[in-house]
Amino acid sequence: MDIQKEPFGIHNGKEVFLFTLRNNKNMAIKIMSYGGIITSIVTPDSKGKPADVVLGFNTLQEYEAGCPFFGALVGRYGNRIGKAKFTLNGKEYQLAHNDGKNHLHGGIVGFDKVVWDVEPIKNNDGVALKLTYHSKDGEEGYPGNLQTTVTYLLTDQNELKITYEAKTDKPTVINLTQHSYFNLAGEGSGDVREHELEIHADRYTVTDNELIPTGELRAVKGTALDFTKSKTIGTGFQQNKKGFDDNYVLQKEHDGLTLAAKVHEPKSGRSMEVYTTQPAIQLYTAGGIDGTLKGKSGHFYQQYGALCLETQHFPDSPNQPGFPTTVLNPGENYHQITIYKFS
């Protein structure tokens, strides 16, 4: 097992580094200190042939120029907050409008656009990076000084284990997630309609035309969103031609790690399982990709050329009292774990 570090550019006067984690099973993950971004996940197929299975770029400048959150570490609040505001303990907080009238993925300069401090770690579990960032009171409109730690661990079981931790000095809201775009056939190799998907959720959060939840939880049974049994993503597209950008309510009997989703790509034989302590998972099939972004292997990324499985709390939870709370108070520890396991 090995960790390598190399310079990757300068952002706002701070040096950015690219770290490569390697295990003993022919798997390698590259992570940038800018945005905690996963730029590459190389993993073998059923014949042992390695390929990079996440969308991304070769240079820092391409990430800085603006991309749809490729590989990003998202915060303070992943997904949307309606009307870009919320009320906490009787006080209204105004956030940035960066998604029409609404607030998306932490704002204009979210956690995906700052340089994190990174500490490489080797232990019996594998090779890891410990990322830390201090988000100041009022940053992007959020209350409280938030000390955030995210640990990326690569094990010899071909697991990427992500541990999210945070503490605050004022009541605030928090919803951290990881926004990698997966194509298990290899990035830039075409769309993901033939990927077979299973999601352990029997309900989803109904949204309005701006993707803000109405508060209703509706059964997936009988709809295009029903992945309770494995089926190709293309089968769902036959009913839902715009693809998917939906939050699934996971079937959880406890707060610990549970299996949330499985993906299988039949040609390569690659599979990925997603385990999480979070109550929900967002399925996004990259409908916003339009064929104009050239990826790291020289291919232009096409619409539906990847899928995201973002483990999270529900969108707009600060404005939805019936949803699981995303409030973090002083003295409390925010702690969530997600595992992406490749085979």
Can you give the pLDDT at residue 66? 85
- Nearest-CA neighbor of 76 among 160, 152, 162, 150? 150
Residue 238 pLDDT > 90, yes or no? no
H and E: helices and strands count for the chain:
2, 27
pLDDT at 131 over 90: yes
**Tokens standing for 67?**
């991309």
Both tokens of 289, joined, read 């990709």
Question: Confidence band (pLDDT; 50, 70, 90) for 48?
Answer: very high
DSSP per-residue string spanning 29-72:
EEEESBTT-EEEEEEE-TTS-EEE-B---SSHHHHHT--S-TTE
The tens digit of pLDDT for each residue in 93-120 reads 999 999 999 999 999 999 999 999 999 9
Q: Is 179 a catalytic residue?
A: yes
Helix (H), strand (E) at residue 239? helix 233-239
Catalytic residue among 103, 140, 310, 313: 310
Residue pLDDT, tens place only, 148-183: 999 999 999 999 999 999 999 999 999 999 999 999
Residue 236, pLDDT > 90, answer no
Q: What is residue 237's predicted lDDT score, i.e. its pLDDT?
A: 85
Burial category of 301 from C-beta neighbours within 10 Å (exposed 0-12, middle 13-18, buried 19 and up): buried
Q: Compute the distance between CA of residue 266 and CA of residue 194 in angstroms, rounded to an integer.
A: 8
> Tens of pLDDT along 18-44?
999 999 999 999 999 999 999 999 999
Give the tens place of pLDDT for each residue, 249-298: 999 888 899 999 999 999 999 999 999 999 999 999 999 999 999 999 99
First to last CA, the chain: 18
Model pTM score: 0.97
- The domain limits of the chain are 2-342
Q: Spot the catalytic one: 179, 195, 264, 313.
A: 179
How many Cβ atoms sit within 10 Å of the Cβ of residue 50?
Answer: 13
Task: Reply yes or no on whether 310 is catalytic.
Answer: yes
Q: Give me the CATH topology for the region 2-342.
A: Beta-galactosidase; Chain A, domain 5 (2.70.98)
